[in-house]
Amino acid sequence: MSSSRVSLRLLGRSYLAFVLAPEAPFSDWLAELDARLPRQSEFFTNRPIIADLSSLIPTASETEEVIDAIEKRGLRLVAVEGVDPGWLPSRLAPLPGAPMPAGMFSPDGPTSQMPPRPARSKFDQLAEEKKPSSLLLEEPLRSGQSLIFPQGDVTIIGSVASGAEIIAGGSIHVYGTLRGRAFAGTSGNPKARIFCNRFDAELLVIDGLYKTADDFEPELLGAQIQAHLDRDVLNIEAFH
């Protein structure tokens, strides 16, 4: 009796997680979180959360207190960064590939030298220059779909449905209705903007600063708008 060999397939897939970066004093940051959660509970529901504690510089016991405070608020914490991995339970260990600079936990700095990067060839430089800096989507983005383009701007000819997500390293342009969630400037670009012809979004984010539907001015709904940052404030205004 012969049997066919079953092939094993290993696939990669990207998911969006939110990063919470508590600041000192932690009690004030926690109070601000508590003020927002009652209005934005659905926004965080079942969304994986990563806590970046590098700004707090906590001790081992303080790290435990921060983790406990976040989880008690019903947030789905999946990883913690910016502290000694030995202080964390295995379920919250830093994600693979997370940036961990040498010596970041040592007050004396790096204890060893990082090996030098190999020199880039002319072929590598040309390949990098040819990477696209913009993406054009000529069809609507349906509910449940995520469009991720960290290299630059995203332009969508159609509309973005409720429950859909656009994640762009640069600006976002939607020629139809924006009903879903839009994340611009995700590569650390505070000059990124969000444009749409009809505004009915669930969430807008630029360089980490965000507003949800509860924060939007009612007169902007259905209007042609642009969103941009001004001195760490996310402004949404009619655009003509």
pLDDT band at 208 (very low <50, low <70, confident <90, very high): confident
pLDDT of residue 68: 95
Instruction: Reduce the secondary structure of the chain to three states and give it as a string.
Output: CCCCCCCCCCCCCCCCCEEECCCCCHHHHHHHHHHHHHHHHHHHCCCEEEEECCCCCCCHHHHHHHHHHHHHCCCEEEEEECCCHHHCCHHHCCCCCCCCCCCCCCCCCCCCCCCCCCCCCHHHHHHHHCCCCEEEECCCECCCCEEEECCCEEEECCCECCCCEEEECCCEEEEEEECCEEEECCCCCCCCCEEEEEECCCEEEECCEEEEHHHCCHHHCCCCEEEEECCCCEEEEECC
- What's the pTM value of the predicted model, to 2 decimals? 0.64
Which range, of 10-19, 25-34, 79-88, 142-151, averages the lowest pLDDT? 10-19
Instruction: Return the pLDDT at 169.
Output: 92
* pLDDT at position 13 over 70: no
In this predicted structure, the answer to whether residue 118 has a pLDDT above a threshold of 50 is no
Statement: residue 36 has pLDDT above 90? no
The CATH fold assigned to 134-238 is Pectate Lyase C-like (2.160.20)
The mean-pLDDT minimum among 9-13, 21-25, 43-47, 170-174 falls in 9-13
Is 172 or 126 the better-scoring residue by pLDDT? 172
Which of the four pLDDT bands, split at 50, 70 and 90, describes residue 99?
A: very low
